Amino acid sequence: MNLKFSYYLDNISKYSGLFAAVLIVLLSLLVSYDAGMRYFFSAGSIALQEIEWHLFDMVFLLGFSYALKHDKHVRVDIFFERYSQDTRMIMQILSMLLLVMPFSLLFLNDAVDMTMQSYLQHEVSSDPGGLTERWAIKAVLVVGFVLLVLQALSEVIKAYHRLENKKALIKTFAGIALVATLVYIAWYNRMAFWFDPVFLMFAMALVLLMLGFQVAFVFAGAALFFALIADEVGLGVLEMLPYRTYGIMGNVTLMAVPLFILMGLILEKSKMAEGLLLSMAKLFGSVRGGLAISVVLVGAILAASTGIVGASVVMMSLIALPLMLKHKYSPELVSGSIAASGTLGQLIPPSIVLIILGDQMHLSVGNLFRAAVVPGLLLIGLYVLYILIISYLNKDLAPAIESDEPYGDIVKEAVKEIIPPLLLIGVVLGSIFAGIASPSESAAIGVLGAVALAMYKKTFSYEMLRYASIETVKLTAMIFMILIGATAFSLVFGELGGGDMAMAFFAGEQGDVWTFILIAMLVIFLLGFFIDFIEIAFVVVPILVPIVALLGIDPIWFAILIAMNLQASFLTPPFGFALFYLKGAAGDKVKTGEIYRGVVPFIGLQLLALLIIVLFPDLIYLFGE
Q: Which pLDDT belongs to residue 46? A: 84
Residue 445's φ and ψ, nearest 5 degrees, are -65, -35
pLDDT tens profile 123-169: 888 778 778 888 999 999 999 999 999 999 999 999 999 998 889 99
CA 140 – CA 143 distance, rounded (Å): 5
Asked if the structure places residue 245 within a domain, the reply is yes
Q: How far is CA 489 from the centre of its chain?
A: 18
Q: How many CA atoms are closer than 13 Å to the CA of 532, on its beta-carbon side?
A: 25
Q: How many CA atoms are closer than 13 Å to the CA of 480, on its beta-carbon side?
A: 33
For residues 245 and 259, membership in a common domain is answered with no
For residues 456 and 320, membership in a common domain is answered with yes
Asked if the structure places residue 486 within a domain, the reply is no
On the question of pLDDT at 111 being above 80, the answer is: yes
Residue 117: CB atoms within 10 A of its CB come to: 12
pTM equals 0.82
Number of domains in the chain: 2
Task: List C-alpha distances in Å: 610 to 366, 376, 560, 607.
Answer: 21, 11, 9, 5
Asked if the structure places residue 478 within a domain, the reply is no
For residues 423 and 331, membership in a common domain is answered with yes
Sign of the torsion angle spanned by Cα atoms 21, 23, 29, 35: negative
Residue 214's φ and ψ, nearest 5 degrees, are -60, 135
Would you say 34 and 52 are in contact if contact means Cβ atoms under 8 Å apart?
yes
469/183: higher pLDDT: 469
Would you say 351 and 563 are in contact if contact means Cβ atoms under 8 Å apart?
yes
- Per-residue pLDDT band at 88 (split at 50, 70, 90): very high
Tell me the residue range of the domain where 438 lies.
254-460+497-621
For residues 355 and 224, membership in a common domain is answered with no
CA 136 – CA 133 distance, rounded (Å): 6
For residues 226 and 320, membership in a common domain is answered with no
CA angle 61/62/64 to nearest 5° reads 70
For residues 422 and 541, membership in a common domain is answered with yes
Of 197, 225, 250, at which residue does a domain stop? 250
For residues 266 and 123, membership in a common domain is answered with no
Sign of the torsion angle spanned by Cα atoms 105, 106, 109, 111: negative
The residue type found at 280 is: M
For the residues 530-557, what does the mean pLDDT come to? 83
Q: Which pLDDT belongs to residue 380? A: 93
Of 218, 250, 282, at which residue does a domain stop? 250
Asked if the structure places residue 485 within a domain, the reply is no
- The length of the chain is 625
* Angle, helix 272-284 to helix 309-326, in steps of 10 degrees: 40
- Per-residue pLDDT band at 505 (split at 50, 70, 90): low
- Per-residue pLDDT band at 77 (split at 50, 70, 90): low
Q: Which pLDDT belongs to residue 324? A: 81
For the residues 209-229, what does the mean pLDDT come to? 88
Q: Which pLDDT belongs to residue 221? A: 92
On the question of pLDDT at 510 being above 60, the answer is: no
CA 35 – CA 608 distance, rounded (Å): 41
Of 190, 216, 250, at which residue does a domain stop? 250
CA 502 – CA 509 distance, rounded (Å): 13
For residues 74 and 193, membership in a common domain is answered with yes
Q: What is the 3-state secondary structure (H, E, C) of 446-506?
A: HHHHHHHHHHHCCCCCHHHHHHHHHHHHHHHHHHHHHHHHHHHHHHHHHHCCHHHHHHHHH
For residues 206 and 352, membership in a common domain is answered with no
Asked if the structure places residue 59 within a domain, the reply is yes
Would you say 342 and 318 are in contact if contact means Cβ atoms under 8 Å apart?
no
For residues 23 and 78, membership in a common domain is answered with yes
For residues 214 and 293, membership in a common domain is answered with no
- Per-residue pLDDT band at 489 (split at 50, 70, 90): confident
- Per-residue pLDDT band at 509 (split at 50, 70, 90): very low
Scanning 532-591, the segments in alpha helix (DSSP H) are 533-535, 541-551, 555-569, 577-586
Q: Which pLDDT belongs to residue 309? A: 62
On the question of pLDDT at 566 being above 60, the answer is: yes
Q: Which pLDDT belongs to residue 191? A: 74
Sign of the torsion angle spanned by Cα atoms 74, 75, 78, 79: negative
Task: List C-alpha distances in Å: 601 to 11, 399, 595.
Answer: 48, 19, 11
Asked if the structure places residue 89 within a domain, the reply is yes
Scanning 95-189, the segments in alpha helix (DSSP H) are 101-120, 135-162, 166-188
On the question of pLDDT at 406 being above 60, the answer is: yes
611/131: higher pLDDT: 611
398/500: higher pLDDT: 398
Mean pLDDT of the chain, nearest integer: 85
For the residues 31-49, what does the mean pLDDT come to? 82
pLDDT tens profile 428-482: 878 877 778 888 888 898 899 889 988 988 888 999 999 999 988 998 898 889 8
For residues 245 and 282, membership in a common domain is answered with no
Asked if the structure places residue 490 within a domain, the reply is no
Share of the chain above pLDDT 90, in %: 29
On the question of pLDDT at 318 being above 50, the answer is: yes
Residue 599's φ and ψ, nearest 5 degrees, are -85, -20
Asked if the structure places residue 467 within a domain, the reply is no
For the residues 242-258, what does the mean pLDDT come to? 86
The residue type found at 569 is: S
283/114: higher pLDDT: 114
Scanning 272-406, the segments in alpha helix (DSSP H) are 272-284, 290-305, 309-326, 331-342, 352-361, 365-393
